[in-house]
Structure 1
Amino acid sequence: MADLTAVEICAGAGGQSLGLELAGFEHALAVELDENAVNTLKKNRPDWDVRHGDVADEGVWNPKKFSDIDLLAGGVPCPPFSIAGKQLGATDERDLFAWAVELAGRMQPRAVLLENVRGLSMPRFSAYRQHVKDRLKELGYWSDWKLLHASDYGVPQLRPRFVLVALRNEDAPWFEWPEETPYDGTVGTALFDLMKAKDWPGAERWRDKAKGIAPTIVGGSKKHGGADLGPTRAKAAWRALHVDAMGVSDEPPNESHPVDFIPKLTTEMVARIQGWGEEPEYAWEFTGRKTTRYRQIGNAFPPPVAKAVATSIADALNRKGQPKDISEVEDEVMHDRLYLALKNASAPLTEKELVKLAGEKIDSPAFERRMAMLARDFVIDEDDQLGGRAYRLAGFKGFIGQEDHERHVRFAESRSRIS
């Protein structure tokens, strides 16, 4: 295989980093905002060029100096799209998805890999997704979205992640999404050696009761308190696996704990659930105190999933296999027909005209709700005409690198709480 290089933005503590490395990519640069995650990256890969700071700040790094790389990759912040949050999308100061697409346009890598939470795949962001895909096409890239579950790629956890892959048109015919390799064990079998490490007499009994795959690990943010394993529904799922999800333990249970004790997980166990550590090549050391270690682990892209997707990209860049009609590869992701009608219009359109062009049966209340949703991410001009109110798509609200964008002020005000 040819040597392949990558720049990774919003690198976190190294989940995607390790996956890219195992797939054959050499890091030219990794950029991360969180100091604890930066320390972890430097601890594990001291020879890498790791920069600490806002990835959109060219005082931290200059994209022009990395224009000859093969892959631009990153796990851009998920709160703008998270179901657990307000889903502010383009108006969230943490949103860097559209900015990353423009970055690809400036750097012109052969491929792009961006991952985020499942929320980005939902109807709320159908127009946002179409905007991203259309922009990539304008920049000379074929692209596709796919919802991947970590448990389908050898990880003992559900963890759905919405992944965008884009390749230059000349490389795209060789791309195909990785084949699934489902995890064939349980939480009990995955963690058994760690649970019995301190001679807990109940380890075998616990292993046999902890049958099933783990719910999604929730890393949380600096805005919230200490480490725990998620909201009420997730805690109930952990309880069914005989795990106390009300916190994270410093050590595994020992010989003094009763056989029927319900243990908490250690950060080492959480890392195992995320795909680190069970095999030597997945070994990783996390720096910082327990809560910061937990957040680094919990917010990561599982290394085996990153490896699987990155290997598919590497195979395409190395023209491995037979080229194919790329339309056969694309996953079907719902897009917003009202947005498309607005985008393609050369003049303002009334509700009646938009509904007709969209080819949907939408009553007025539903139309108003849909337009209000679009207006959260796009500038929609409205004009009262004789035939009724007319609408025109006037722009995108998101940050794509503008020097005068309000993102800079909001980001500076909340930087200490961003994670």
Structure 2
Amino acid sequence: MSELRVVEICAGAGGQSLGLHLAGFEHSLAVEIDETAAQTLRTNGKRLGWDMTVAVGDVAAVPERGEKFDEERHVWNPDDHVGIDLLAGGVPCPPFSIAGKQLGTSDERDLFAWAVELVGRMRPRALMLENVRGLSMPRFAAYRQWVKDRLKEHGYWSDWKLLEARDYGVPQLRPRFILVALRDESDARHFNWPEKTPYVGGVGDSLYDLMRVHDWAGAEAWRETANKGIAPTIVGGSKKHGGADLGPTRAKRAWAELGVDAMGIANDAPHPKVHTRDHTPKLTIDMVKILQGWLDDGDYAWNFEGKKTSQYRQIGNAFPPPVARAVGASIRDALTGKGRLKDLAETEAEVMQHEPIYVALKEADGPRTAKELIRAAGGAIHPSDFEQRVGLLSRDFDIKTDGEGEARTYMLGAFKGFVGQDDHGRHLAFARARNRIS
């Protein structure tokens, strides 16, 4: 058994769990809000002999530091895992999703900032959080800088990187934005983002054996069509929406070009009697598993609990196991001193863009006018863009203003994100939406 232990929050059905296990980590605890996904974790963990507890419920329902654990109010206790080797999680994506409203801190599901605060309490050797590409965009530049700054205050070096699943053996276009933080400088100097191991082929190659399992006569022709590309991003969706399908209109068009009917999930592959001409097959659960990285390989064998729609959501919302394995292996090598030794500045990701007005506000020692802030930001921002930038900042930060016209001043107030406050609006909003959160 590995000596490296991990606590995983927002664990889902186990994509990240399996990847981290294959990378050399053993789970001490996994926390997940969806009971069916948690049962999937339990079932597979038991089959693989994992020494893991699975806690079910709101991951943020924890006792205050030093408070006694209460089974009626709390789901788990971070104090039981202080000094763990790795704290990992796939915190909810909707607050940052391009397909959504990108509400950030205003979304009751936003747990990214809370997870960062958890680092200060648990003091793990390493942190790994994954999310959607939307978090890497300019809209969240100040949010990202807050995360970096807060981790630095906790004593952690950190870096972001946008990784594409197809670059790590997954037959799908699935960009994921990854945050890695390390407590000790010696560990950080041994961390390197994983080398690419691209998937070679197309959807047809990856699913051909499953598509022809019943000797469907159209399998060969379908394979040729489906090999025009790899899969679009699989969208698991949530309990707020209906049954399983393969994404919004644009994604459905992309699936159609690959010879796939994206209007649902089939119970079985096509049978011999299915008319070959003009038949566009739907994917099965087993096919979606392969496209999401549960490859046709003994290492990635995984069984899902629940009915078809639940299984599809569990798969579609997962972190592809091969990607989690690749990043996990890089963290393992850092913690064991096996990674290539380097200067820390070498790993600063290109996607880490600063929001200059946020930086100017943060460094100011009092209220400043727009002209003063633009000058402090290097003068590259046009005055006509200033208010728009401030408006975006005000979504995630309290911006205090005073005065009118050119004399109007601005000052950076509190971060609006949920970091564990008892009086935060997240609690009421979460309680109201509890049955629709997955």
TM-score, L = length of structure 1: 0.98
Rounded to whole Å, the distance in 2 between the matches of 1:2 and 1:234 is: 41
Match of 2:316 among 289, 298, 303: 298
Per the TM alignment, residue 403 of structure 1 is displaced from its structure 2 partner at its CA by 1.3
Q: Is the 8 A contact 1:205 1:259 kept in 2?
A: no
Distance 2:296 2:405 in 1: 68
Q: 1:134 aligns with which of 149, 153, 160?
A: 149
Taking structure 1 as reference, are residues 36 and 2 closer, same or farther at Cα in structure 2, changes over 3 Å only? closer
Distance 1:83 1:394 in 2: 27
Q: Is the 8 A contact 1:277 1:284 kept in 2?
A: no
SS in 2 for 1:174: coil
Q: What residue in structure 2 maps to residue 222 of structure 1?
A: 239
CA distance in 1, matches of 2:379, 2:292: 42
Aligned to 1:83: 98
**251-260 or 169-178: bigger deviation:** 251-260
1:361 aligns with 2:389: no
Q: Structure 2 matches for 1:315-394, cutoff 5 A?
A: 315-332=333-350, 333-384=352-403, 388-394=407-413
Match of 1:11 in 2: 11
Give the partner amino acid of 2:126: A
CA contact (8 A) 2:2 2:26 kept: no
Structure 1 equivalent of residue 221 of structure 2: 205
Query: How far off is 1:387 after superposition?
Result: 5.8
| SS in structure 2 of the partner of residue 393 of structure 1 | strand
Matching of residue 193 in structure 1 with residue 209 in structure 2: yes
In structure 2, the partner of 1:264 is 282
Aligned length: 419
- Report the CA distance shift for 1:341/1:207 in structure 2 as closer, same or farther (over 3 A): same
Q: Which residue of 2 aligns with 1:153?
A: 168
Query: 1:166 matched to which residue of 2?
Result: 181
Q: CA 1:22 to 1:2, structure 2 compared with 1: closer, same or farther past 3 Å?
A: closer
Cα drift, residue 128 of structure 1: 0.1
1:286 and 2:290 matched: no
Specify the alignment match of 1:40 in structure 2: 40
SS at match of 1:162: strand
Q: Which residue in the other structure is 1:93 paired with? A: 108
Shift of 1:170: 2.9
Q: Which residue of 1 aligns with 2:61?
A: 57
Q: CA deviation at 1:385?
A: 7.1
Q: Calculate the TM-score normalised by the size of structure 2.
A: 0.94
Q: CA deviation at 1:202?
A: 1.1
After TM superposition, give the deviation of residue 158 of structure 1 in Å.
0.8
Indicate how the Cα distance of structure 1 residues 386 and 120 shifts in structure 2: closer, same or farther if over 3 A, else same: closer
Contact 1:187 1:210 in 2 (8 A): yes
How big is the shift at 1:365?
A: 3.3
Q: Partner letter of residue 376 of structure 1?
A: R
Moved over 6 A (4+): none
Contact 2:192–2:339 at 8 Å: present in 1 too? no
Task: Supply the distance in 2 between the matched residues of 1:148 and 1:139 (Cα, whole angstroms).
Answer: 26
Q: Give the Cα separation in 2 of the matches to 1:385 and 1:371.
A: 15
Instruction: Tell me the distance in 2 between the aligned counterparts of 1:18 and 1:370.
Output: 41
Superposed CA deviations along residues 36-77 of structure 1, whole A, max 9, x for unmatched, are: 111111111135200000000011000000113100000000
Deviation per residue, 1:199-236 (Å, 9 max, x gap): 21111221122111111000111111111101111111
Deviation at 1:2, TM superposition (A): 6.0
Conserved in 2, the CA contact under 8 Å of 1:2 and 1:318? Answer: no
- 2:65 is matched with none
d(CA) in 2 for partners of 1:12, 1:68: 23
Letter in 2 for 1:363: H
Deviation at 1:386, TM superposition (A): 9.2
Q: Which residue identity does 1:156 align to in structure 2?
A: P
* Cα displacement string for residues 124-158 of structure 1 (whole angstroms, at most 9, x for unaligned residues): 00000000001111111111111110000000001
Structure 2 unaligned blocks of 5 or more: 63-73
3-state SS of 1:376 partner? helix
Task: Name the residue aligned to 2:261.
Answer: 244
Query: Structure 1 residues 2 and 49 mapped into 2: Cα distance closer, same or farther (>3 Å)?
Result: closer
